[in-house]
């Protein structure tokens, strides 16, 4: 969601801050700003510049020669208060000496605001975040860290905070509770950010803050302690991503680049994790013995959005292979229920960022009740990865576009591996395990074949781009792919799209069929193929245009459809990998035809770290 950047060191802070904010654009935002400590002879204590709109608006407002070597920056996604310059961060106290940037939501901000106004504070914005600046100023007695600690004792809600004070040159203080914050350790300079991408150009050495921790840093030192002031021994991790991985590399958009990276990202997710000799998978990060794996009787998946769709496919795989009952649950629903945690039940928390608020809080709730939770995440060092009992990194690499593509297929790869491992501890034979691995080995090449439909998909997108309503229909393991295809189109084209179970079509959905509403059918190659063909004929009989995605050699489906996208034939169990790719491209090209901002669609953020 919102983004934080902080810098202290020998270099011009404003340039590093704006550059860092630019790299955080993908998280979603509607305004941006920076605050830089001025030299002692500069007049006003802090230079605060903020603008609604894109980073380009902020960049043009920041003087190229702005002095100051310590500062903080922020990209805001509006929650409290409209999109205005005044509501943009950083926020200052009345004296202009304190500046604060904040991610999260302060739930008791109204009561705090009323109290502070009685003490003489004058507020300039409608945001919940501004109360933090006034609280810090109220408690400041010459020690910024102590003032922030005192302020935190009054806050209810979630926060990632960075704070500076003009009386403490070169110092940044930050705190985290429910919203990510990362320290970057440089040579004679320090960084603070909500995401490592903001500082990857300058350092690979990072420390992930845990909830209820406070960091105080200068150019050449930092210390971390919890809210009770107990010192924390920091663990420094190294980021292995290359800066080039988060550049567009000749593609028009990050989303297009990430769609085409799937031929490499899926093999990365599988690499080193297949035991061909024994027909099984190797997943050492699960931290479970063979005996513990064999004792698993049920699986529950906790996820949101695209990760939930991956979990629905995962449920199908685990049930089909390992013969254990699986339910994929929306984290936002589970966290507010009174969930029953049964014995011998494994929970899987799935999140690309590892910071998704609902998934994280649902995970913590079932852990309190004694559940074992494994994380399936992309971001190394993320909160879910650190707080889960074990897990699988999907290794898709940095995903910048808001609409997830390559992380989705990498999550699928993780589920297929886990399904194979569980199945081999239950009743899947060695021969069946070896056969499964051969089919899995063929998937990267099949994805390349699916990507080769690019020109065909682009032509179809051009034909139907102005359709206001779309239906996506699938059965069995392709039903979640229909949901994901509809979500992709909604996210970046803003067209209304519904993902439907094809078998449920006559229970209401068929009423939406007309000549202006394309129906995108995902045709399985297995026992549900004939049923799906019958559904296609029913749509055609009512004058609805049909776009069919099926095996490239399926001539019957090709003859029935108005538009046909043929993908490489694979076993029905593996079709999610090939059929999702043209749907991702369809959404992308429709959005381009409509002139949408593909990488940063309106109202959306990459990582939903607040409710």
Strand partners, 499: 472
**Helix, strand, coil % in the chain, rounded to nearest 5:** 40, 25, 35
CA–CA gap between residue 487 and residue 584 (Å, rounded):
10
How far is C-alpha 104 from the geometric centre of its chain's CA atoms?
A: 16
d(CA 504, CA 15): 55
Cα–Cα distance, 495 to 589 (Å, whole number): 13
What radius of gyration, in Å, describes the C-alpha atoms of the chain?
A: 25
Rounded-to-integer distance, Cα 542 and Cα 565, Å: 22
Which residues 6+ apart lie within 8 Å of 258 measured at CB?
A: 399, 400, 401, 405, 406
Coil, strand or helix: which one is 596? Answer: coil
Active site residues: 2, 606
User: If DSSP codes are grouped into helix, strand and coil, which group holds residue 583?
Assistant: helix
Rounded Cα–Cα distance for residues 459 and 603 (Å) = 28
| Residue of 211, 281, 40, 177 lying closest to 610 (CA atoms) | 177
- C-beta separation of 353 from 326 below 8 A: no
The b/e string for 1-39 (b: 16+ C-beta within 10 A; e otherwise) is: bbbbbbbbbeebbbebbbbbbbbbbbbbbbbbbbbbbbe
- Report the b/e string of 575-596 with b at 16+ CB within 10 A: bbbbbbbbbbbbbbbbbbbeeb
* Main-chain phi, psi angles of 137, to 5 degrees: -65, -40
CA distance 458 to 520: 15
Residue-wise DSSP of 371-428: -EEEEEESSTT-HHHHHSSEEEE-------SSS-SHHHHHHHHHHHHHHHHHHHHTT-
Listed in sequence order, the residues at least 6 apart from 369 whose beta carbon sits closer than 8 Å to its beta carbon are 339, 341
Strand partners, 372: 346
Q: Cα–Cα distances in Å, from 278 out to 103, 367, 421?
A: 48, 33, 11
Task: Count CB-CB contacts under 10 A for residue 162.
Answer: 30
Please report where in the chains the tokens 């190659």 appear, as a residue.
525
Q: What does DSSP say about strands 237-238 and 274-275: parallel, antiparallel, or unpaired?
A: unpaired
Residue 387, classified by CB atoms within 10 Å of its CB into exposed (0-12), middle (13-18) or buried (19+), is: middle
Residue appearing with tokens 């998934």: 359
Q: In Å, what is the CA distance from 421 to each residue of 119, 299, 322, 355, 581?
A: 62, 14, 8, 27, 26
């Amino acid at each position: 969601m919102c983004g934080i950047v902080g810098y202290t060191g020998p270099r011009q802070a404003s340039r590093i801050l704006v550059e860092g904010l630019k790299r955080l654009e993908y998280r979603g935002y509607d305004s941006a700003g920076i605050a830089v400590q001025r030299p002692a002879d500069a007049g006003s204590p802090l230079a605060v510049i903020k603008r609604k709109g894109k980073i380009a608006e902020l960049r043009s407002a920041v003087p190229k020669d702005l002095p100051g070597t310590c500062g903080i920056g922020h990209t805001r996604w509006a929650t409290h208060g409209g999109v205005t310059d005044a509501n943009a961060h950083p926020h200052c106290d009345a004296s202009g000496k304190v500046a604060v940037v904040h991610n999260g939501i302060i739930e008791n901000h109204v009561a705090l605001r009323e109290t502070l106004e009685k003490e003489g504070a004058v507020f300039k914005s409608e945001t919940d975040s501004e109360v933090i600046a006034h609280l810090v100023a109220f408690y400041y007695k010459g020690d910024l860290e102590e003032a922030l600690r005192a302020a935190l004792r009054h806050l209810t809600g979630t926060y990632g905070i960075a704070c500076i004070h003009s009386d403490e040159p070169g110092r940044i203080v930050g705190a985290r509770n429910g919203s990510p914050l990362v320290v970057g350790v440089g040579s004679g300079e320090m960084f603070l950010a909500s995401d490592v991408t903001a500082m990857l150009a300058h350092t690979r050495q990072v420390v992930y803050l845990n909830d209820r921790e406070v960091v105080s840093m200068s150019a050449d030192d930092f210390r971390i302690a919890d809210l009770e002031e107990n010192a924390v021994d920091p663990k420094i991790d190294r980021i292995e991503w290359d800066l080039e991985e988060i550049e567009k590399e000749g593609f028009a958009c990050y989303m297009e680049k990430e769609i085409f990276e799937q031929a490499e990202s899926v093999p990365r997710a599988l690499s080193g994790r297949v035991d061909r000799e024994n027909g099984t998978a190797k997943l050492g990060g699960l931290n479970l013995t063979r005996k513990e794996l064999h004792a698993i009787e049920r699986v529950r998946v906790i996820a949101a959005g695209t990760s939930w769709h991956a979990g629905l496919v995962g449920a199908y795989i685990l049930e089909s292979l390992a013969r254990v009952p699986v339910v994929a649950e929306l984290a936002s629903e589970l966290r507010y229920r009174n969930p029953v945690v049964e014995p011998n039940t494994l929970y899987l928390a799935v999140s690309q960022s590892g910071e998704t608020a609902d998934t994280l809080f649902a995970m913590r709730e079932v852990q309190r009740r004694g559940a074992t939770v494994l994380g399936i995440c992309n971001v190394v060092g993320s909160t879910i990865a650190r707080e889960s009992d074990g897990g699988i990194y999907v290794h898709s690499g940095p995903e910048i576009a808001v609409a997830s593509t390559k992380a989705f297929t990498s999550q699928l790869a993780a589920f297929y591996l886990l399904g194979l491992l569980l199945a081999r501890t239950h009743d899947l034979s060695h021969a069946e395990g070896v056969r499964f691995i051969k089919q899995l080995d063929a998937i990267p090449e099949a994805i390349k074949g699916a990507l080769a439909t690019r020109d065909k998909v682009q032509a179809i997108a051009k034909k139907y781009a102005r359709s206001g309503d779309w239906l996506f229909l699938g059965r069995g393991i392709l039903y979640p792919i229909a949901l994901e295809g509809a979500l992709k189109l909604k996210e970046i084209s803003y067209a209304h799209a519904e993902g439907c179970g094809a078998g449920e079509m006559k229970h209401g959905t068929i009423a939406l069929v007309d000549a202006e509403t394309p129906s995108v059918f995902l045709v399985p190659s297995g026992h549900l193929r004939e049923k799906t063909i019958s559904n296609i004929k029913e749509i055609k009989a009512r004058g609805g245009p049909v776009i069919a995605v099926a095996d490239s050699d399926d001539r019957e489906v090709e003859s029935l459809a108005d538009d046909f996208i043929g993908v490489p034939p694979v076993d029905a169990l593996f079709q999610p990998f090939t059929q999702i790719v043209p749907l991702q491209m369809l959404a992308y090209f429709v959005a381009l035809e409509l002139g949408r901002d593909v990488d940063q669609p309106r109202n959306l953020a990459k990582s939903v770290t607040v409710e």
